[in-house]
């Protein structure tokens, strides 16, 4: 089986072309090949599949084998893959995901895709659609206790569940403890991705992300989008923000007129391999 290792700002994926390859047990396969000691090493597995409703279909599995609905860094990797490997000549693509169809426009340099602008769709704010257990409809600046500390979270679904916590001390937080416990907090029936977010200006923020099913990652596209939506809802930033993550910067814009979030960032191929 041929695979391609790719990443978006260090959020790394093993990509498999399912037009050519067949993967029997994707969750087990993801666990084995994402292992950084006994496998290839990655945050997740992306299957690039045919679609009846879009140009391509993206299936994504976290490194613990769980299924995810959407992946902002992964979808750019998929775009680069299908363009560079000539599965398509189109620069504007529609991609079927578990959370709906997403459109993206590839950035091309020297005949190869180097990144993309992705329409990440409508942010879902209702507690039940994230899902977060809550007596209120919206979960904005809502208290949550973990590790005997009180935090305030804002809940958003970007096709996957996120809880955004604003703090000036994101580098002092032990994500290994706090992030993990929050991921499995009883208020998140499907677990959650957790963003710790420090706003540094109306158009800039820094975030660290604890990803559901993975752990701390160098970047998370849906996480960056959720953080910007949360910061607008809490009136901490404007709608267009540069998000600095451990692996680099993403550009996010929440267009309130159409209520869609747009994400722009790079996509990189690391190597091809054979299993």
Q: Which residues make up each annotated binding site for substrate?
A: 11, 62, 72-73, 160, 193, 211-212, 221-222
Known binding-site residue numbers: 11, 62, 72-73, 160, 193, 211-212, 221-222
Phi-psi group of 269: left, alpha or beta (phi > 0 → left; psi -120 to 50 → alpha; rest → beta): beta
Q: Catalytic annotation on 197?
A: no
Of the pair 222, 237, the CB lying nearest ligand LBFN2T5F is at: 222
User: Nearest approach, Cβ of 214 to ligand LBFN2T5F (angstroms)?
Assistant: 5
> One symbol per residue from 141 to 180: x for binding ligand LBFN2T5F (CB under 6 A), - otherwise; what is it?
-------------------x--------------------
Site string for ligand LBFN2T5F, 45-84 (x = CB under 6 A): -----------------x-----x--xxxx----------
State yes or no: residue 221 binds ligand LBFN2T5F (CB under 6 A).
yes
**CA neighbor of 73 nearest in space, from 167, 6, 16:** 6
Shortest Å distance, C-beta 110 to ligand LBFN2T5F: 25
Catalytic residue among 34, 71, 197, 225: 71
- Which span (51-59, 98-106, 166-174, 215-223) binds ligand LBFN2T5F, by CB under 6 A? 215-223
* Complex with ligand LBFN2T5F: residue 74 or 123, whichever CB lies closer: 74
Residue 220 a catalytic site member: yes
Strands 92-97 and 56-62: parallel
- Establish if 212 lies at the interface with ligand LBFN2T5F (CB under 6 A): yes
How far from each other are the two terminal CA atoms of the chain, in whole angstroms? 5
The bridge status of strand 112-119 relative to strand 142-146 is: unpaired
Give the active site residues: 71, 220
The residue ranges that bind ligand LBFN2T5F (CB under 6 A) are: 11, 62, 68, 71-74, 160, 193, 211-214, 217, 220-222
């Amino acid at each position: 089986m041929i695979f391609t290792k790719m990443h978006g700002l260090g959020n790394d994926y093993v990509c498999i072309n399912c037009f050519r390859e067949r993967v029997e047990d994707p969750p087990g396969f993801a666990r084995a090949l994402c292992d950084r000691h006994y496998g290839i090493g990655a945050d997740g597995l992306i299957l690039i599949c045919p679609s009846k409703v879009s140009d391509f279909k993206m299936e994504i599995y976290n490194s613990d084998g769980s299924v995810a609905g959407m992946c902002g860094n992964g979808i750019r990797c998929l775009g680069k893959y299908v363009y560079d490997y000539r599965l398509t000549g189109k620069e504007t693509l529609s991609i079927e995901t578990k959370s709906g169809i997403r459109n993206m426009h590839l950035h091309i340099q020297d005949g190869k895709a180097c990144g993309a602008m992705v329409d990440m769709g409508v942010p879902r704010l209702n507690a039940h659609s994230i899902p977060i257990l809550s007596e209120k409809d919206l979960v904005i600046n809502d208290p949550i206790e973990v590790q005997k500390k009180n935090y305030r979270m804002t809940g958003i679904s970007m096709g996957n569940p996120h809880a955004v916590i604003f703090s000036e001390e994101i580098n002092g937080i032990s994500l290994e403890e706090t992030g993990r416990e929050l991921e499995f907090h009883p208020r998140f029936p499907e677990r959650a991705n957790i963003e710790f977010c420090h706003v540094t200006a109306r158009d800039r923020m820094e975030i660290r992300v604890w990803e559901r099913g993975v752990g701390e990652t160098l970047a998370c596209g849906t996480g960056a989008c959720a953080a910007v939506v949360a910061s607008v809802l809490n009136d901490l930033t404007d709608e267009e923000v540069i998000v600095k993550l451990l692996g680099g910067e993403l550009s996010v814009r929440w267009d309130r007129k159409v209520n869609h979030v747009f994400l722009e960032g790079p996509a990189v191929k690391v190597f091809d391999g054979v299993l």
